[in-house]
Amino acid sequence: MTTTRPFGDTGMDITPLGLGTWVIAGQGWEYSWGATEDAESIAAIRHAVDRGLNWLDTAPAYGLGHAETLVGKALADIPDSERPYIFTKTGLIWEDGDDRQGPPRRIMRPEAVRAELEASLRRLRVEQVDLLQVHWPDTGAVFVYQEDGEVSAEATPLEEYWQVMADLKKEGKVRAIGLSNHDAAQLEIAESIAHVDAIQPPFSAINRGAAPEIAWARAHDTGVIVYSPLHSGLLSGAFTADRVLAADDWRSRTADFTTALPANLALVDAIRPIAARHGVSVAEVVLAWTTSWSGITGAIVGARNPGQIDGWADAGTLTLTAADLDEIATAITTTGAGTGPVRP
């Protein structure tokens, strides 16, 4: 894959797809995808680079730093001229006394941000990360995935933590700064303090709720990388109604993989004829659909091994026709899968 797109006004040009590392972070933490093999994970990272993907998305929260450690090991022997951009995050923290197998806290205190970044730099074996993103708005409270948790009186205001991010950029610790999971009103506040270089919302054919934030980014020359474009594997074409998820797989506790599963799989089935016409996988059609949205620069896709990457890496060069997009929009409407606008 050689096609790239300008990543907002960061000066970086990125491929339409990048490798996400949440899935390879191993088990023993709250939002694990289950057991993984480090050797396979490292091989997957190197294979992504070999296939031309020029950016990786990671976070210290993934496996209590394990994902970042694997990225550092995988890239250690790759020449600087061939290394991908490294995007990481800050703000999900297990503090002293917390159960590290339980949920982290959403914390953006200045000293915590700086300490977390220094730890990330050590694990990643770099002196600068290309993009540092705030994982979630600070609540000072226990993190609850996909839900609004309580807000503690100790929560750091957006104006304060975004200034810290801007300071880190000025100091050269990070090349660009971004906000993940922040709404358009929050983005507007942050922009008044320092330019929002990038945003990272969830977006897929099932979860289309971030359309307002993507439109905001387009109007402000802000790059957009979306996460969960395959909706945590549900839109890959490989997930089936009779598949039983392990108890330590966080997906087993979400509605999309339980009560909403029939509608979601009906959408996948409706996409299969489109994939067949193009001679590609369902995953590639779904990813091409996602990256065809105006304003989206790239999509983060996870993989446990090199073979999984081969199943979707060519989606960055697939162009869907107007008829394809109409067919997918009709399928979304007919099945009732997810919420939000149905067509790019």
- Span 225-254, average pLDDT: 81
**Mode of pairing for the β-strands spanning 198-200 and 177-180:** parallel
Based on C-alpha coordinates, what's the Rg of the chain? 19
Structure tokens at 261: 């599963």
Residue 29 vs residue 47, higher pLDDT:
47
User: Region 227-252: what's the mean pLDDT?
Assistant: 80
pLDDT score, position 102: 79
Q: Give the dihedral sign, CA 199/330/289/42.
A: positive
When pLDDT is cut at 50, 70 and 90, the band that residue 238 belongs to is confident
Q: How high is the pLDDT of residue 26?
A: 86
Asked whether the predicted pLDDT for residue 1 surpasses 60, the reply is no
Q: What is the DSSP string of 186-244?
A: HHHHHHTTS---EEE-B--SSB-TTHHHHHHHHHTT-EEEEB-TTTTTTTSS---TT--
Q: What is the pLDDT of residue 209?
A: 94
- For 272-281, the pLDDT digits (tens) are 999 999 999 9
Q: What is the DSSP secondary structure assignment for residue 93, as one 8-state letter? A: E
Q: 143 in helix, strand or coil?
A: coil
> Is the separation of the CB atoms in 156 and 138 below 8 Å?
yes
pLDDT tens for 80-94 read 889 999 999 999 998
How confident is the model over 278-301, as pLDDT tens digits?
Answer: 999 999 999 999 999 999 999 999
| CA distances (Å), origin 46, targets 38, 53, 82 | 12, 10, 11
In angstroms, the first-to-last Cα distance of the chain is 23
Q: Residue 258 — pLDDT band, cuts 50, 70, 90? A: confident
Question: Exposed, middle or buried: residue 192 (CB in 10 Å: 0-12, 13-18, 19+)?
Answer: exposed
pLDDT at 244: 63
Among the listed residues 174, 220, 199, 188, the one whose alpha carbon sits nearest the alpha carbon of residue 300: 199
* Reported pTM: 0.92
Task: Give the burial string for 282-291 (b: 16+ CB within 10 Å, else e).
Answer: bbbbbbbbbb
Give the burial string for 242-266 (b: 16+ CB within 10 Å, else e): eeebeeebbbeebebbeebbebbbe
Q: Chain-wide mean pLDDT for the chain?
A: 91
pLDDT of residue 245: 72
Q: Is there a contact between 137 and 106 (Cβ–Cβ < 8 Å)?
A: yes
pLDDT tens, position by position, 155-178: 999 999 999 999 999 999 999 999
How confident is residue 256, by pLDDT bands cut at 50, 70 and 90?
confident
Please give the domain boundaries of the chain with CATH numbers for all domains.
Answer: 12-200 (3.20.20.100)
At residue 57, the 3 state secondary structure works out as: strand
How many CA atoms does the CB half-sphere of 123 hold within 13 Å?
A: 22
